[in-house]
Structure 1
Amino acid sequence: MNPGALFGGVVLVFVLTQAAGQALSDLTFTDVGMDYVSLSWTAPADLNITGYRVSYQYSGGPQTGLNPPPAPEDTTATVQGLYAGVEYTFTVTSLGEDGEENGEISGTATTAAAVLNTACDQGTMELSIPIAALPGVIVTSMHLLDPRCGATITPTHVILSTHLLECGTIRQTLADKFTFVNKAIATPVVSENGAIRGRNFSRSFQCEFIRRFDITQRREVLYNIPPPSVPIEIEGGNNSLIISMNMFTSADFSDKFDSVDFPLQVTPADRLHFGLGVDSPLDNLELFALQCVATPTLNPDDSPRVSIIQDGCNIDPTLEKNDARSGEKALYYSVQAFTLPNAGDNSLLYIHCTMLVCFEDDSDSRCSEGCVPARGRRQAGSVTGEHRVRRESGKEHDVKISQGPIITKTGKEKETGSTFPTVGVAVGAVGVLTGVLMLIATVVLVRMRPGLVTRKTAKDRAGLDNYSFQVWGKRKPNVPSPDTQ
């Protein structure tokens, strides 16, 4: 077997130890979660086995034995209580009549990353952590910076919420940008004999906003800075993929703007460069830009609304696609900067894109159709219901993501701090929270293999009326817990 063989998105490395010409073989990781790994192996029929020993450890950590160990007739085991996103080495050893080792096999597997959900809405911030990502932690002890602000425990998650100015939340201000930071804190499990298992848990989360004066409301409004990436957990397993939208500094798409660079300041003479992407262990996916629009808030249905891409067709006459860089899983576009008509703050806008993720081998998918104007699609649907039936089968799914805010400044305007009077703070992008939550909760891809895991992390950012995600893991730490101090 190839030592670099790939099983369900987990790279396995095998080290075989033979005994008397015989050895265990075919070590396979059949299921990988945030806090557990299931494995199986093959034992020779003529090998006398009276017992097994299964041990595991992460880099720099202690070696731990599975207790109770598998029975002599078993060739499967499940190790639980692991840390999320950590690479472990597993060793299965068979024992002979006198307890001697007569077979051994080893391999490595990385547990699934923990997906944290941070949401800010109507002046509040909330963090949701999967309980499976908290082994060795007393979840009932979890609290925010103010110990009086405890957690709500559900069967699957620990939820911490607070007002932006309560529970010890720290506000950081830089010009017209506000960042609100808090922490999820918990203590490790202590056994009755005094043994401590686990580590002190401390995880920061935050929300970022910019302040703009809205003429129509006659007061200042906080607009959020949305995350560039959205990890999505796939139903029915521990699989996930990452949908991303990034703004780039130039037409060569080599450098991305980071969260600290927003709001982007542009002039009408500039071009906006943005890229769309999907990251997944699956190789047979393709990405299709179904729709891109611009609105003055994080609500893609807000008004005024300018269409850039509609039904897969380029609507804006200045839109250009970089075919050289684009591929099946990534699309790159440039469009001339613009302002929105009849908006309270017509210089500020967000770009929202609806993307379809399809399987390349599905010739009936919407992705394979390309540009089809709305009227043409309705006519085609009236002739045959074949496409409609197939699309309802779950082979393609749409995902919405946003980037911004972007401020288009005229030549007379200068990059200065706010000169507007503070007459109260309102909340921008009202009403998009429920739609985004429902969309993310219903995204499903079929034919996912067990054991697939996210390959890279998303920005640890959160936004008003928008769901952001933090992903910890995919690393080889000296200490296993996802603590931050």
Structure 2
Amino acid sequence: VDFRYKESFRSNCHQEFYWGCNSGNCGYTRELQYGQIDSSPLGDTWCQAEGFMSKSVPSDKPFDLRVPQNCPTTYSLLAHDPDGDLVKCRYGQSYNSECYTCAQQAGFGLNEPIWKPTKHDTEAVCVAFKDFGPECFTSSVPSCNFGDYRPQYLSPTPPHGQIKKASVNHQFQFIVRAQASYAVIQNIMISGPLNITKSYQYDSQTQTGKAVVTWTPSENNLGESVPICFFAETQEGYQSELRCIVVTVGRRNSLPMNIETSIVCTKTTMSVFVLKSSAPGLNEHYMRLNDPRCSLTSNSTHLIASVSLNSCGTRYQENDTEIIFENEITTFDHFNQVISRKNQVEIPFSCSYPKIGKASASFSPHKANYVFSEAGFGSFTFLFEFYESSDFRSIIDPSEYPIEVELGEMLYMGISVDSPLDNITLFVQDCRATPHDDPNDPTYYDIITDGCVQDDTTIIFPSNQTDFRFGMAAFTFIGDYSQVYMTCTVIVCIAASPGTRCSQGCVNSTSTVHRFRRSLASESQEHFISQGPLYLSKKNNNQVSLNPNTLVIVMGFIAAVAIVASVVGVVIYKIKMSKVVRYERLSASEI
């Protein structure tokens, strides 16, 4: 068995590599390389040596992790098996010669099944992955909330544990963005393969740091699962959470030239249609998008994928003139398998939108209608609007967006579906509020979950089978987020069909109703729709400055250009991690 061994050190790059063998057949060093992988604004240089041999205990994190002494902190260490087997961890055992001292550090606990060592007390602990004495220090942070002094990740930063895909001799790239309201992010540290590169920029106006991480796999990386880890750090040394992703390396081949695809780009969605006759053997039941929860449908002639611009794993990148939203159709053998044993098909697709200056008079953050296409339902449209009052007669004019409301003020929202079919019903499965226009934002507050109301101020109003009307009191998140987006997961069903998600209604842990597998003939896929933003103000009418992010801006201006690429490679499997950041309602004296 071949292993790669890495040593990271902070000094001038030179050939420094140690590999010891106390007994037995330890193999031999087949390959040795070294070079610089990262640097800091202070001039420190991180170097990494990589060896190729038959036994190793790799260290893949060339940086010190700092834990503020007043903030209990959890580190989610990366555990990955290419075959999808369960991986557990435990402390090293001296009788197995797994470690030298095997002492458990004071203040650390290990949640073995999910690789999460947790610091429980308030003593400062220094952790260093290097073989010379680390400098230990104690410090506190004014606030333990990520996003205040400790950087918080922003979209499109990949979640911890995500599995991405790269191809030999083709550039692989991802973006890390982080923000801290009361500190300056001086760098985003990375650890990965030897020839990885990073460019970093800091925007003082938005207090956001952005790193573009780039790597081009070589032939030596073919078939490997390569970990890449990163975190953001402020000038004071405050750090974000540590995240790691896995990049599986395959070989890119071309699909047959006669495969026919077409894309429809709208203000809020993109749909791709694959002509079945040009791609024989493809089955929609064994195809999915970047988010494996999102699958395809088909009719007699085409395979169909229809998604919102901010859902189903859709990523975006930008250049000087446009923003490009990208997703990919991928085949798989079995839903729970990470690695496929067959030749896999990839069909990337994208929609490009021109950048237009933020000062343009035509800008409107109001979301247009969501148009989807799906087998058995044809083309149907979701409308998501805010209303003036509880009679739901007048929508808030799109020209008034973003909407400014006071804390505690009632908000009235309506979702409806428009379809040429007259026997359908609408079901709103989930609704949540987020400070960014991203349904996968790690900071969120649940309003409706599995059809059940979670917020105690939420009121469901009577409506017909193609409408859903509800209201709730306006609120703000801890961390002083001033803007809120509403994102909902919606489903369309054939009316009166038994066993559909629409017919089940509220399903929770105490419910006697059990969720069933989706009925392909009588139930649509889950679709994500959103509306906003809402800007929350104090009762003294202090104005909140408008600073919409680029994602919202681009949705206000549409002149879509569709780009479709076709390749063959390895399947992507995306692991979703999320956390809930709770909010508290303010008392009257605080408003």
Regarding TM over 0.5, the answer is: no
The interval holding the TM-score normalised by the smaller chain is 0.3 to 0.5
The answer to which structure, 1 or 2, has the higher relative contact order (CA under 8 A, 6+ apart) is: 1
TM-score normalised by structure 1 residue count: 0.40
User: More strand by proportion, 1 or 2?
Assistant: 1
